[in-house]
A and B are shown apart, each in its own frame.
Chain A
Protein backbone atom coordinates (compact mmCIF):
# COMPACT_ATOMS: atom_id res chain seq x y z
CA UNK A 1 0.00 0.00 0.00
CA UNK A 2 1.52 3.37 -0.97
CA UNK A 3 2.31 5.64 1.98
CA UNK A 4 -0.43 8.22 1.38
CA UNK A 5 -3.04 9.51 3.75
CA UNK A 6 -6.61 9.25 2.53
CA UNK A 7 -7.67 12.35 0.66
CA UNK A 8 -11.10 13.77 1.32
CA UNK A 9 -12.23 16.49 -1.01
CA UNK A 10 -14.53 19.11 0.46
CA UNK A 11 -14.60 21.86 -2.09
CA UNK A 12 -16.52 25.00 -2.83
CA UNK A 13 -18.01 26.12 -6.11
CA UNK A 14 -15.41 28.78 -6.88
CA UNK A 15 -12.49 26.45 -6.21
CA UNK A 16 -14.00 23.82 -8.52
CA UNK A 17 -14.76 26.18 -11.39
CA UNK A 18 -11.34 27.85 -11.13
CA UNK A 19 -9.62 24.48 -11.32
CA UNK A 20 -11.81 23.39 -14.24
CA UNK A 21 -11.11 26.51 -16.30
CA UNK A 22 -7.43 26.34 -15.46
CA UNK A 23 -7.27 22.89 -17.04
CA UNK A 24 -9.83 23.53 -19.79
CA UNK A 25 -7.95 26.59 -21.05
CA UNK A 26 -5.09 24.28 -22.10
CA UNK A 27 -6.63 24.08 -25.60
CA UNK A 28 -6.83 27.86 -25.95
CA UNK A 29 -3.30 28.35 -24.54
CA UNK A 30 -1.44 25.55 -26.32
CA UNK A 31 -3.26 25.43 -29.67
CA UNK A 32 -3.87 29.17 -29.88
CA UNK A 33 -3.76 29.37 -33.70
CA UNK A 34 -6.28 26.57 -34.27
CA UNK A 35 -8.53 27.75 -31.43
CA UNK A 36 -8.55 31.34 -32.70
CA UNK A 37 -9.26 30.24 -36.30
CA UNK A 38 -12.22 28.14 -35.17
CA UNK A 39 -13.52 30.94 -32.93
CA UNK A 40 -13.32 33.51 -35.76
CA UNK A 41 -15.03 31.06 -38.15
CA UNK A 42 -17.87 30.44 -35.71
CA UNK A 43 -18.40 34.13 -34.97
CA UNK A 44 -18.39 34.85 -38.73
CA UNK A 45 -21.02 32.14 -39.29
CA UNK A 46 -23.22 33.67 -36.58
CA UNK A 47 -22.92 37.11 -38.18
CA UNK A 48 -23.72 35.85 -41.70
CA UNK A 49 -26.61 33.79 -40.29
CA UNK A 50 -27.99 36.97 -38.79
CA UNK A 51 -27.73 38.75 -42.14
CA UNK A 52 -29.63 35.89 -43.82
CA UNK A 53 -32.22 35.94 -41.04
CA UNK A 54 -32.82 39.67 -41.59
CA UNK A 55 -33.01 39.10 -45.36
CA UNK A 56 -35.60 36.35 -44.82
CA UNK A 57 -37.55 38.65 -42.52
CA UNK A 58 -37.59 41.35 -45.19
CA UNK A 59 -38.52 38.75 -47.81
CA UNK A 60 -41.53 37.91 -45.67
CA UNK A 61 -42.76 41.48 -45.94
CA UNK A 62 -42.25 41.76 -49.71
CA UNK A 63 -43.91 38.40 -50.36
CA UNK A 64 -47.02 39.11 -48.31
CA UNK A 65 -47.32 42.66 -49.66
CA UNK A 66 -47.28 41.21 -53.18
CA UNK A 67 -49.93 38.67 -52.18
CA UNK A 68 -52.09 41.45 -50.73
CA UNK A 69 -51.78 43.43 -54.00
CA UNK A 70 -52.37 40.21 -56.00
CA UNK A 71 -49.16 41.08 -57.86
CA UNK A 72 -48.33 37.74 -59.51
CA UNK A 73 -45.03 38.90 -61.06
CA UNK A 74 -43.61 40.02 -57.70
CA UNK A 75 -44.86 36.86 -55.97
CA UNK A 76 -43.02 34.76 -58.59
CA UNK A 77 -39.89 36.92 -58.23
CA UNK A 78 -39.97 36.58 -54.44
CA UNK A 79 -40.48 32.82 -54.75
CA UNK A 80 -37.29 32.67 -56.86
CA UNK A 81 -35.41 34.89 -54.40
CA UNK A 82 -36.36 32.55 -51.59
CA UNK A 83 -34.28 29.73 -53.11
CA UNK A 84 -30.82 31.35 -52.62
CA UNK A 85 -31.86 32.67 -49.22
CA UNK A 86 -32.99 29.23 -48.08
CA UNK A 87 -29.90 27.59 -49.61
CA UNK A 88 -27.66 30.11 -47.82
CA UNK A 89 -29.43 29.45 -44.54
CA UNK A 90 -29.07 25.67 -44.95
CA UNK A 91 -25.37 25.88 -45.86
CA UNK A 92 -24.71 28.18 -42.91
CA UNK A 93 -26.52 25.82 -40.51
CA UNK A 94 -24.36 22.95 -41.78
CA UNK A 95 -21.19 25.08 -41.52
CA UNK A 96 -22.14 26.02 -37.97
CA UNK A 97 -22.53 22.36 -36.99
CA UNK A 98 -19.15 21.50 -38.54
CA UNK A 99 -17.42 24.45 -36.84
CA UNK A 100 -18.95 23.78 -33.45
CA UNK A 101 -18.26 20.08 -33.48
CA UNK A 102 -14.70 20.58 -34.71
CA UNK A 103 -14.04 23.07 -31.92
CA UNK A 104 -15.70 20.76 -29.38
CA UNK A 105 -13.70 17.75 -30.57
CA UNK A 106 -10.41 19.66 -30.45
CA UNK A 107 -11.15 21.08 -27.01
CA UNK A 108 -12.22 17.70 -25.68
CA UNK A 109 -9.09 16.07 -27.08
CA UNK A 110 -6.81 18.65 -25.45
CA UNK A 111 -8.51 18.44 -22.04
CA UNK A 112 -8.83 14.63 -22.10
CA UNK A 113 -5.14 14.22 -22.95
CA UNK A 114 -4.24 16.66 -20.17
CA UNK A 115 -6.31 14.78 -17.57
CA UNK A 116 -5.19 11.32 -18.75
CA UNK A 117 -1.56 12.40 -18.56
CA UNK A 118 -1.96 13.47 -14.94
CA UNK A 119 -4.01 10.36 -14.12
CA UNK A 120 -1.55 7.86 -15.61
CA UNK A 121 1.67 9.50 -14.45
CA UNK A 122 3.37 7.47 -11.69
CA UNK A 123 0.39 5.08 -11.59
CA UNK A 124 -1.77 7.70 -9.90
CA UNK A 125 -4.90 5.97 -11.25
CA UNK A 126 -4.09 3.07 -8.94
CA UNK A 127 -3.52 5.25 -5.88
CA UNK A 128 -6.64 7.28 -6.68
CA UNK A 129 -8.80 4.14 -6.68
CA UNK A 130 -7.80 3.35 -3.14
CA UNK A 131 -7.18 6.66 -1.49
CA UNK A 132 -9.09 9.62 -2.81
CA UNK A 133 -12.64 10.15 -1.64
CA UNK A 134 -14.83 12.37 -3.82
CA UNK A 135 -13.20 11.31 -7.09
CA UNK A 136 -14.88 7.94 -7.60
CA UNK A 137 -15.42 6.62 -11.10
CA UNK A 138 -12.51 8.50 -12.75
CA UNK A 139 -12.97 6.66 -16.07
CA UNK A 140 -16.45 8.10 -16.45
CA UNK A 141 -15.24 11.58 -15.52
CA UNK A 142 -12.47 11.40 -18.12
CA UNK A 143 -14.69 10.08 -20.91
CA UNK A 144 -18.19 11.49 -20.43
CA UNK A 145 -17.82 14.44 -18.07
CA UNK A 146 -14.94 15.97 -20.03
CA UNK A 147 -17.03 15.69 -23.21
CA UNK A 148 -20.07 17.40 -21.64
CA UNK A 149 -17.89 20.03 -19.96
CA UNK A 150 -16.24 21.00 -23.28
CA UNK A 151 -19.30 20.60 -25.54
CA UNK A 152 -21.66 22.85 -23.66
CA UNK A 153 -19.58 26.06 -23.33
CA UNK A 154 -19.17 26.33 -27.12
CA UNK A 155 -22.87 25.78 -27.86
CA UNK A 156 -24.01 27.98 -24.99
CA UNK A 157 -21.67 30.90 -25.67
CA UNK A 158 -22.46 30.89 -29.39
CA UNK A 159 -26.19 30.76 -28.67
CA UNK A 160 -25.80 33.61 -26.18
CA UNK A 161 -23.81 35.73 -28.65
CA UNK A 162 -26.34 35.01 -31.38
CA UNK A 163 -29.25 35.85 -29.05
CA UNK A 164 -27.84 39.24 -28.13
CA UNK A 165 -27.12 40.19 -31.74
CA UNK A 166 -30.52 38.90 -32.89
CA UNK A 167 -32.37 40.80 -30.18
CA UNK A 168 -30.53 44.06 -30.97
CA UNK A 169 -30.95 43.71 -34.74
CA UNK A 170 -34.63 42.83 -34.64
CA UNK A 171 -35.31 45.58 -32.12
CA UNK A 172 -34.49 47.84 -35.06
CA UNK A 173 -36.97 46.00 -37.29
CA UNK A 174 -39.70 46.19 -34.65
CA UNK A 175 -39.01 49.87 -34.00
CA UNK A 176 -39.07 50.79 -37.69
CA UNK A 177 -41.98 48.61 -38.85
CA UNK A 178 -44.10 48.96 -35.73
CA UNK A 179 -43.57 52.68 -35.36
CA UNK A 180 -45.77 54.39 -32.81
CA UNK A 181 -49.36 53.79 -31.81
CA UNK A 182 -51.97 56.19 -30.45
CA UNK A 183 -54.02 54.91 -27.53
CA UNK A 184 -56.93 56.68 -25.88
CA UNK A 185 -56.31 57.05 -22.13
CA UNK A 186 -59.04 58.76 -20.09
CA UNK A 187 -60.34 60.48 -23.19
CA UNK A 188 -56.93 61.75 -24.29
CA UNK A 189 -54.83 60.35 -27.11
CA UNK A 190 -51.41 59.15 -25.93
CA UNK A 191 -48.67 58.18 -28.40
CA UNK A 192 -46.41 55.19 -27.62
CA UNK A 193 -43.30 55.25 -29.82
CA UNK A 194 -41.71 51.89 -30.73
CA UNK A 195 -44.57 50.10 -29.01
CA UNK A 196 -43.67 46.68 -30.45
CA UNK A 197 -40.21 46.88 -28.83
CA UNK A 198 -41.76 47.59 -25.43
CA UNK A 199 -44.39 44.94 -26.15
CA UNK A 200 -41.80 42.25 -26.77
CA UNK A 201 -39.79 43.29 -23.69
CA UNK A 202 -42.87 43.14 -21.44
CA UNK A 203 -44.08 39.85 -22.95
CA UNK A 204 -40.63 38.23 -22.70
CA UNK A 205 -40.27 39.47 -19.13
CA UNK A 206 -43.58 37.84 -18.26
CA UNK A 207 -42.61 34.52 -19.90
CA UNK A 208 -39.23 34.48 -18.19
CA UNK A 209 -40.80 35.32 -14.82
CA UNK A 210 -43.34 32.52 -15.26
CA UNK A 211 -40.56 30.14 -16.21
CA UNK A 212 -38.60 31.09 -13.12
CA UNK A 213 -41.67 30.59 -10.93
CA UNK A 214 -42.55 27.23 -12.51
CA UNK A 215 -39.04 25.88 -12.92
CA UNK A 216 -36.93 27.52 -10.24
CA UNK A 217 -36.00 24.10 -8.82
CA UNK A 218 -35.10 22.64 -12.22
CA UNK A 219 -31.43 23.57 -12.26
CA UNK A 220 -30.70 22.20 -8.77
CA UNK A 221 -32.79 19.06 -9.41
CA UNK A 222 -30.83 18.35 -12.62
CA UNK A 223 -27.58 18.76 -10.74
CA UNK A 224 -28.69 16.43 -7.96
CA UNK A 225 -29.96 13.95 -10.53
CA UNK A 226 -26.58 13.94 -12.29
CA UNK A 227 -24.80 13.57 -8.97
CA UNK A 228 -27.07 10.67 -8.00
CA UNK A 229 -26.34 8.97 -11.34
CA UNK A 230 -22.61 9.37 -10.71
CA UNK A 231 -22.94 7.92 -7.19
CA UNK A 232 -24.95 4.99 -8.56
CA UNK A 233 -22.24 4.26 -11.13
CA UNK A 234 -19.58 4.48 -8.42
CA UNK A 235 -21.57 2.07 -6.20
CA UNK A 236 -21.96 -0.37 -9.11
CA UNK A 237 -18.25 -0.09 -9.84
CA UNK A 238 -17.39 -0.82 -6.19
CA UNK A 239 -19.80 -3.75 -6.17
CA UNK A 240 -18.18 -5.20 -9.30
CA UNK A 241 -14.71 -4.96 -7.77
CA UNK A 242 -15.70 -6.86 -4.61
CA UNK A 243 -13.48 -10.00 -4.53
CA UNK A 244 -15.48 -12.26 -2.18
CA UNK A 245 -19.10 -12.34 -3.37
CA UNK A 246 -20.83 -14.03 -0.45
CA UNK A 247 -19.57 -12.27 2.67
CA UNK A 248 -21.44 -9.82 4.92
CA UNK A 249 -19.62 -6.84 3.46
CA UNK A 250 -21.04 -7.67 0.04
CA UNK A 251 -24.54 -7.63 1.49
CA UNK A 252 -23.92 -4.05 2.66
CA UNK A 253 -22.71 -3.13 -0.80
CA UNK A 254 -25.82 -4.65 -2.35
CA UNK A 255 -27.91 -2.45 -0.04
CA UNK A 256 -25.79 0.56 -0.95
CA UNK A 257 -26.33 -0.16 -4.62
CA UNK A 258 -30.09 -0.40 -4.11
CA UNK A 259 -30.06 2.80 -2.05
CA UNK A 260 -28.20 4.69 -4.78
CA UNK A 261 -30.60 3.33 -7.42
CA UNK A 262 -33.53 4.52 -5.32
CA UNK A 263 -31.96 7.98 -5.10
CA UNK A 264 -31.54 8.08 -8.90
CA UNK A 265 -35.17 7.06 -9.43
CA UNK A 266 -36.47 9.64 -6.97
CA UNK A 267 -34.43 12.47 -8.51
CA UNK A 268 -35.55 11.33 -11.96
CA UNK A 269 -39.17 11.44 -10.82
CA UNK A 270 -38.72 15.00 -9.54
CA UNK A 271 -36.86 15.96 -12.73
CA UNK A 272 -39.78 14.75 -14.84
CA UNK A 273 -42.23 16.80 -12.73
CA UNK A 274 -40.04 19.88 -13.14
CA UNK A 275 -40.05 19.34 -16.91
CA UNK A 276 -43.82 18.95 -16.89
CA UNK A 277 -44.14 22.28 -15.07
CA UNK A 278 -41.76 24.16 -17.39
CA UNK A 279 -43.40 22.60 -20.47
CA UNK A 280 -46.67 24.26 -19.44
CA UNK A 281 -44.94 27.63 -19.82
CA UNK A 282 -42.73 26.85 -22.82
CA UNK A 283 -45.48 25.27 -24.90
CA UNK A 284 -47.92 28.00 -23.89
CA UNK A 285 -45.36 30.53 -25.06
CA UNK A 286 -44.83 28.63 -28.32
CA UNK A 287 -48.55 28.98 -29.08
CA UNK A 288 -49.04 32.46 -27.67
CA UNK A 289 -46.01 34.45 -28.90
CA UNK A 290 -47.06 34.78 -32.59
CA UNK A 291 -50.67 35.48 -31.57
CA UNK A 292 -49.55 38.26 -29.20
CA UNK A 293 -47.50 39.75 -32.04
CA UNK A 294 -50.46 39.66 -34.42
CA UNK A 295 -52.77 41.14 -31.78
CA UNK A 296 -50.31 43.99 -31.14
CA UNK A 297 -50.08 44.73 -34.87
CA UNK A 298 -53.77 44.21 -35.64
CA UNK A 299 -54.95 47.76 -34.68
CA UNK A 300 -52.48 49.33 -37.12
CA UNK A 301 -53.29 46.82 -39.86
CA UNK A 302 -57.02 47.31 -39.44
CA UNK A 303 -56.63 51.10 -39.47
CA UNK A 304 -54.71 50.78 -42.76
CA UNK A 305 -51.42 52.17 -41.47
CA UNK A 306 -49.66 48.79 -41.71
CA UNK A 307 -49.62 46.47 -44.73
CA UNK A 308 -50.06 42.69 -44.56
CA UNK A 309 -46.35 42.29 -45.38
CA UNK A 310 -45.37 44.61 -42.54
CA UNK A 311 -47.68 42.72 -40.19
CA UNK A 312 -46.09 39.35 -41.01
CA UNK A 313 -42.58 40.86 -40.85
CA UNK A 314 -43.27 42.47 -37.48
CA UNK A 315 -44.87 39.28 -36.12
CA UNK A 316 -41.89 37.20 -37.29
CA UNK A 317 -39.45 39.72 -35.76
CA UNK A 318 -41.42 39.67 -32.50
CA UNK A 319 -41.12 35.87 -32.31
CA UNK A 320 -37.40 35.99 -33.16
CA UNK A 321 -36.65 38.60 -30.45
CA UNK A 322 -38.79 36.73 -27.95
CA UNK A 323 -36.87 33.53 -28.76
CA UNK A 324 -33.56 35.37 -28.25
CA UNK A 325 -34.74 36.55 -24.83
CA UNK A 326 -35.40 32.93 -23.92
CA UNK A 327 -31.72 31.95 -24.05
CA UNK A 328 -31.42 31.38 -20.33
CA UNK A 329 -34.72 29.53 -20.06
CA UNK A 330 -33.99 27.33 -23.09
CA UNK A 331 -30.56 26.41 -21.77
CA UNK A 332 -31.43 25.75 -18.13
CA UNK A 333 -30.86 22.03 -18.51
CA UNK A 334 -27.59 22.25 -20.43
CA UNK A 335 -26.21 24.81 -17.98
CA UNK A 336 -26.98 22.47 -15.08
CA UNK A 337 -25.51 19.48 -16.93
CA UNK A 338 -22.37 21.46 -17.72
CA UNK A 339 -21.99 22.64 -14.12
CA UNK A 340 -22.17 19.16 -12.65
CA UNK A 341 -19.79 17.70 -15.25
CA UNK A 342 -17.32 20.57 -14.77
CA UNK A 343 -17.52 19.97 -11.00
CA UNK A 344 -16.74 16.28 -11.42
CA UNK A 345 -13.80 16.91 -13.74
CA UNK A 346 -12.46 19.53 -11.33
CA UNK A 347 -12.85 17.19 -8.34
CA UNK A 348 -10.78 14.55 -10.15
CA UNK A 349 -8.13 17.12 -11.09
CA UNK A 350 -7.90 18.40 -7.51
CA UNK A 351 -7.52 14.84 -6.21
CA UNK A 352 -4.70 14.29 -8.72
CA UNK A 353 -3.16 17.62 -7.63
CA UNK A 354 -3.22 16.37 -4.03
CA UNK A 355 -1.46 13.17 -5.00
CA UNK A 356 1.09 15.14 -7.01
CA UNK A 357 1.75 17.45 -4.07
CA UNK A 358 2.25 14.47 -1.74
CA UNK A 359 4.64 12.89 -4.23
CA UNK A 360 6.68 16.10 -4.28
CA UNK A 361 6.62 16.23 -0.46
CA UNK A 362 7.86 12.64 -0.25
CA UNK A 363 10.60 13.28 -2.77
CA UNK A 364 11.93 16.33 -0.92
CA UNK A 365 11.75 14.42 2.39
CA UNK A 366 13.89 11.54 1.05
CA UNK A 367 16.48 13.78 -0.69
Chain B
Protein backbone atom coordinates (compact mmCIF):
# COMPACT_ATOMS: atom_id res chain seq x y z
CA UNK B 1 0.00 0.00 0.00
CA UNK B 2 1.60 3.32 -1.02
CA UNK B 3 1.78 5.94 1.72
CA UNK B 4 0.54 9.19 0.20
CA UNK B 5 -0.56 10.96 3.34
CA UNK B 6 0.51 10.48 6.97
CA UNK B 7 -1.22 12.16 9.89
CA UNK B 8 0.57 12.57 13.22
CA UNK B 9 -1.41 13.46 16.33
CA UNK B 10 0.47 15.40 19.01
CA UNK B 11 -0.30 16.92 22.38
CA UNK B 12 3.21 18.33 22.91
CA UNK B 13 4.25 15.51 25.27
CA UNK B 14 7.54 13.58 25.10
CA UNK B 15 5.70 10.50 23.82
CA UNK B 16 4.06 12.56 21.10
CA UNK B 17 7.49 13.92 20.12
CA UNK B 18 8.71 10.36 19.61
CA UNK B 19 5.65 9.74 17.41
CA UNK B 20 6.50 12.89 15.43
CA UNK B 21 10.08 11.70 14.89
CA UNK B 22 8.93 8.27 13.73
CA UNK B 23 6.15 9.60 11.49
CA UNK B 24 8.34 12.33 9.98
CA UNK B 25 11.14 9.85 9.21
CA UNK B 26 8.62 7.63 7.47
CA UNK B 27 7.21 10.57 5.51
CA UNK B 28 10.71 11.59 4.43
CA UNK B 29 11.54 8.06 3.33
CA UNK B 30 8.30 7.54 1.38
CA UNK B 31 7.77 11.11 0.15
CA UNK B 32 4.33 11.16 1.77
CA UNK B 33 2.54 14.37 2.56
CA UNK B 34 2.51 15.04 6.33
CA UNK B 35 -0.35 16.37 8.42
CA UNK B 36 0.33 17.48 11.99
CA UNK B 37 -2.77 17.38 14.15
CA UNK B 38 -3.40 18.54 17.69
CA UNK B 39 -6.59 18.39 19.71
CA UNK B 40 -7.09 21.54 21.72
CA UNK B 41 -9.44 22.44 24.51
CA UNK B 42 -7.99 20.99 27.71
CA UNK B 43 -8.29 23.96 30.06
CA UNK B 44 -8.30 23.66 33.86
CA UNK B 45 -10.91 25.20 36.12
CA UNK B 46 -8.32 27.57 37.61
CA UNK B 47 -7.40 28.80 34.12
CA UNK B 48 -11.07 29.35 33.30
CA UNK B 49 -11.66 31.34 36.49
CA UNK B 50 -8.64 33.52 35.73
CA UNK B 51 -9.98 34.14 32.22
CA UNK B 52 -13.42 34.98 33.62
CA UNK B 53 -11.96 37.53 36.03
CA UNK B 54 -9.57 39.13 33.55
CA UNK B 55 -11.93 39.21 30.56
CA UNK B 56 -9.55 36.96 28.64
CA UNK B 57 -10.80 35.23 25.50
CA UNK B 58 -11.10 31.47 25.94
CA UNK B 59 -11.25 30.68 22.21
CA UNK B 60 -8.12 32.72 21.57
CA UNK B 61 -6.35 31.11 24.53
CA UNK B 62 -7.19 27.61 23.32
CA UNK B 63 -6.26 28.47 19.76
CA UNK B 64 -2.94 29.96 20.90
CA UNK B 65 -2.12 26.86 22.97
CA UNK B 66 -2.93 24.57 20.02
CA UNK B 67 -0.90 26.75 17.64
CA UNK B 68 2.09 26.61 20.00
CA UNK B 69 2.03 22.80 20.05
CA UNK B 70 1.71 22.66 16.26
CA UNK B 71 4.53 25.16 15.66
CA UNK B 72 6.85 23.18 17.94
CA UNK B 73 5.92 19.98 16.09
CA UNK B 74 6.45 21.72 12.76
CA UNK B 75 9.97 22.83 13.73
CA UNK B 76 10.76 19.27 14.83
CA UNK B 77 9.53 17.86 11.53
CA UNK B 78 11.43 20.46 9.51
CA UNK B 79 14.64 19.53 11.31
CA UNK B 80 14.13 15.96 10.10
CA UNK B 81 13.85 17.30 6.57
CA UNK B 82 10.15 17.09 5.69
CA UNK B 83 8.89 20.14 3.84
CA UNK B 84 5.30 19.31 2.84
CA UNK B 85 3.47 19.89 6.12
CA UNK B 86 -0.16 20.77 6.83
CA UNK B 87 -1.18 21.92 10.32
CA UNK B 88 -4.60 21.02 11.67
CA UNK B 89 -6.44 21.56 14.96
CA UNK B 90 -9.36 19.55 16.27
CA UNK B 91 -11.55 20.18 19.31
CA UNK B 92 -13.39 18.07 21.83
CA UNK B 93 -12.86 14.40 22.67
CA UNK B 94 -9.34 13.50 21.52
CA UNK B 95 -10.18 10.04 20.14
CA UNK B 96 -13.27 11.16 18.21
CA UNK B 97 -11.58 14.32 16.89
CA UNK B 98 -8.50 12.39 15.66
CA UNK B 99 -10.69 9.79 13.90
CA UNK B 100 -12.75 12.58 12.33
CA UNK B 101 -9.64 14.43 11.11
CA UNK B 102 -8.14 11.18 9.77
CA UNK B 103 -11.31 10.46 7.79
CA UNK B 104 -11.53 13.98 6.41
CA UNK B 105 -7.91 14.15 5.34
CA UNK B 106 -8.08 10.64 3.79
CA UNK B 107 -4.79 9.72 5.48
CA UNK B 108 -3.20 6.32 4.81
CA UNK B 109 -1.43 6.15 8.17
CA UNK B 110 -2.11 7.60 11.59
CA UNK B 111 0.86 7.94 13.96
CA UNK B 112 0.28 8.49 17.69
CA UNK B 113 2.20 8.16 20.93
CA UNK B 114 1.18 5.35 23.24
CA UNK B 115 0.37 7.62 26.15
CA UNK B 116 -0.50 11.31 26.13
CA UNK B 117 -0.59 13.85 28.94
CA UNK B 118 -3.83 12.75 30.53
CA UNK B 119 -2.69 9.64 32.44
CA UNK B 120 -5.40 9.71 35.09
CA UNK B 121 -8.28 9.93 32.61
CA UNK B 122 -6.67 7.20 30.50
CA UNK B 123 -6.68 4.96 33.54
CA UNK B 124 -10.42 5.38 34.01
CA UNK B 125 -11.84 5.69 30.51
CA UNK B 126 -9.33 3.82 28.37
CA UNK B 127 -6.48 5.38 26.46
CA UNK B 128 -6.87 7.39 23.28
CA UNK B 129 -4.37 5.21 21.44
CA UNK B 130 -6.39 2.07 22.22
CA UNK B 131 -9.52 3.72 20.85
CA UNK B 132 -7.68 4.82 17.71
CA UNK B 133 -6.22 1.37 17.13
CA UNK B 134 -9.74 -0.04 17.24
CA UNK B 135 -11.69 2.57 15.29
CA UNK B 136 -9.37 4.57 13.02
CA UNK B 137 -10.23 4.26 9.29
CA UNK B 138 -6.59 3.58 8.28
CA UNK B 139 -3.44 1.86 9.50
CA UNK B 140 -2.33 3.06 12.94
CA UNK B 141 1.24 3.23 14.20
CA UNK B 142 1.45 3.52 17.99
CA UNK B 143 4.90 4.71 19.12
CA UNK B 144 5.98 3.73 22.65
Interface residues of A, Cβ cutoff 8 Å to B? 217, 220-221, 223-224, 228, 231, 251, 255, 258-263, 265-267, 269-270, 273
Which of A217, A231, A260, A265 makes the CB contact (< 8 A) with B52?
Answer: A217
Contact B89 A255 (CB under 8 A): yes
- Tell me the complex Cα distance, A262–B90, Å: 10
Task: Mark interface residues in B91-121 (1 if CB within 8 Å of A CB, else 0).
Answer: 1100001000000100000000000000000
Interface residues of B, Cβ cutoff 8 Å to A? 40-41, 43, 45, 48-49, 51-53, 58-59, 62-63, 88-92, 97, 104
Specify which chain B residues have a CB less than 8 angstroms from the CB of A267 in the assembled complex.
48, 58
Which of A231, A258, A269, A273 makes the CB contact (< 8 A) with B91?
Answer: A258
Which of B45, B53, B89 makes the CB contact (< 8 A) with A220?
Answer: B53
Contact A228 B58 (CB under 8 A): yes
A-B contact list, 22 entries, CB within 8 Å:
A217-B52, A217-B53, A220-B53, A221-B49, A221-B52, A224-B52, A228-B58, A255-B88, A255-B89, A258-B92, A258-B97, A259-B59, A259-B62, A259-B89, A260-B59, A262-B91, A262-B92, A266-B41, A266-B43, A266-B48, A270-B45, A270-B49
Contact A224 B58 (CB under 8 A): yes
Contact A259 B48 (CB under 8 A): no
Which of A220, A263, A273 makes the CB contact (< 8 A) with B59?
Answer: A263
- Tell me the complex Cα distance, A120–B62, Å: 37
Smallest Cβ-Cβ distance to A231: which chain B residue: B59
Specify which chain A residues have a CB less than 8 angstroms from the CB of B48 in the assembled complex.
221, 266-267, 270
Specify which chain B residues have a CB less than 8 angstroms from the CB of A255 in the assembled complex.
88-91
Contacts A259-B41, A259-B63, A262-B40 supplied; 9 other A-B pairs, CB < 8 Å: A221-B49, A221-B52, A228-B58, A259-B89, A262-B62, A269-B45, A270-B48, A270-B52, A273-B45
Of listed B51, B52, B90, B91, residue having the most chain A CB within 10 A: B52
- Tell me the complex Cα distance, A267–B57, Å: 11
Specify which chain B residues have a CB less than 8 angstroms from the CB of A231 in the assembled complex.
59
Specify which chain A residues have a CB less than 8 angstroms from the CB of B51 in the assembled complex.
224
- Tell me the complex Cα distance, A152–B45, Å: 29
- Tell me the complex Cα distance, A260–B89, Å: 13
- Tell me the complex Cα distance, A220–B43, Å: 17
Smallest Cβ-Cβ distance to B105: which chain A residue: A251
- Tell me the complex Cα distance, A148–B92, Å: 30
Q: How far is the CB of B121 from chain A (nearest CB, A)?
A: 14
Closest 10 CB pairs of A and B: A258-B91, A220-B52, A262-B91, A262-B41, A270-B48, A263-B58, A217-B49, A221-B52, A263-B59, A224-B52
Q: How far is the CB of B41 from chain A (nearest CB, A)?
A: 4
Q: How far is the CB of B68 from chain A (nearest CB, A)?
A: 15
Specify which chain B residues have a CB less than 8 angstroms from the CB of A261 in the assembled complex.
91-92
Contacts A231-B59, A263-B59, A266-B43: A258 and B52 contacting too (C-beta < 8 A)? no
Q: How far is the CB of B30 from chain A (nearest CB, A)?
A: 25
- Tell me the complex Cα distance, A165–B91, Å: 51
Specify which chain A residues have a CB less than 8 angstroms from the CB of B52 in the assembled complex.
217, 220-221, 223-224, 270
Contact B62 A263 (CB under 8 A): yes
- Tell me the complex Cα distance, A80–B114, Å: 76
Of listed B40, B49, B97, residue having the most chain A CB within 10 A: B49
- Tell me the complex Cα distance, A262–B45, Å: 14
Specify which chain A residues have a CB less than 8 angstroms from the CB of B40 in the assembled complex.
259, 262
Q: How far is the CB of A16 from chain B (nearest CB, A)?
A: 13
Smallest Cβ-Cβ distance to A251: which chain B residue: B104
- Tell me the complex Cα distance, A262–B91, Å: 6
Which of B58, B63, B104 makes the CB contact (< 8 A) with A266?
Answer: B58
Which of A228, A258, A263, A265 makes the CB contact (< 8 A) with B90?
Answer: A258
